[in-house]
Amino acid sequence: MANTGFDYGRNYPSSLRERVFQQLEDEILNGKYKPGDSLIESKLSEEFGISRTPIREALMQLELEGLVQSIPNKGVVVKGVSAKDVEDIYTIRKMIEGLAARWATEKANEEELKEMKEILELEEFYTLRNDIERLIELDSRFHELIFKASKSKPLMQTLKTFHQYVKRARNISMSTPGRAQKSLEEHRAILQAIVDRDPERAERLTTEHVSNASKNLLHRRKEDIEADHT
């Protein structure tokens, strides 16, 4: 699979290894590289226009993430993200995002509430325009604000760990017809619970929101698999 080199429009970290890692991670999670595909150092080195050392280091990091596997006499092979991985990720998300919403309800200040309201206003605008790319960004921002308002560094670190998995899942989910409007309605309900300082309702609604996204994603994956076999 041909690579066109770095996407310089993104905010990559300064480390060359990190830049290679993030781009390859994105391309595995967005389906450009599929399970079973080989990642060959020499080919990637040529495509990225860099030496093999940062490529090798990035592949080692991808293996630690569980996205690739080094197989003797075969090289590095993409493992990707399985349906079980997705289920596990969403189970964890329900727990940590529900907890973040509960704590945000108890700790959010007026400025943070104002930011959340502004995000929802933008979501409404771009939902009417059916601008999925902007909606994905705003969806991410809304959830990040809840984590920020929770005032919990460990929760923020956990969110960072799952960022790329969640990003890929969000891209698929939000692209499903009707999901953007439904997501907006769910966000409104979550924010209202936070504004009302009702932690139990905020936690429950957030858990339901993540669960709905999970069901939507798994349904899309099933459709894609069936389409591949027709």
Cα separation, 183 vs 120, whole angstroms: 10
Cα separation, 32 vs 131, whole angstroms: 23
Please check whether residues 126 and 164 belong to one and the same domain: yes
Partners of 69 in beta bridges: 77
Model-level pTM? 0.71
Cα separation, 67 vs 145, whole angstroms: 28
Looking at residue 102, its pLDDT comes to 98
Q: Is the pLDDT of residue 3 over 60?
A: no
Query: Within 13 Å and on the Cβ side, how many CA atoms surround 23?
Result: 21
Q: Are 126 and 134 in contact (CB under 8 A)?
A: yes
Q: Are 48 and 5 in contact (CB under 8 A)?
A: yes
Beta strands in 50-185, from DSSP E residues, in sequence order: 68-71, 75-78
Residue 157 lies in a domain: yes
Kindly give, in sequence order, each residue whose CB lies less than 8 Å from that of residue 211, ignoring residues fewer than 6 positions away.
Answer: 90, 94
pLDDT digits (tens, 9 = 90+) for 42-95: 999 999 999 999 999 999 999 988 889 999 888 999 987 777 777 788 888 899
Kindly give, in sequence order, each residue whose CB lies less than 8 Å from that of residue 144, ignoring residues fewer than 6 positions away.
Answer: 159
Kindly give, in sequence order, each residue whose CB lies less than 8 Å from that of residue 206, ignoring residues fewer than 6 positions away.
Answer: 97, 98, 100, 101, 146, 190
Looking at residue 223, its pLDDT comes to 61
pLDDT digits (tens, 9 = 90+) for 95-112: 999 999 999 999 999 999
Query: What one-letter code names the amino acid at 63?
Result: E
Lowest mean pLDDT among 12-21, 128-137, 203-212: 12-21
For 38, list phi and psi in degrees, rounded to 5: -95, 140
Please check whether residues 112 and 168 belong to one and the same domain: yes
Please check whether residues 90 and 56 belong to one and the same domain: no
Please check whether residues 103 and 183 belong to one and the same domain: yes
CATH number of the domain at 56, please. 1.10.10.10
Q: Is the pLDDT of residue 228 over 70?
A: no
Please check whether residues 159 and 109 belong to one and the same domain: yes
Please check whether residues 64 and 135 belong to one and the same domain: no
Q: Is the pLDDT of residue 175 over 60?
A: yes
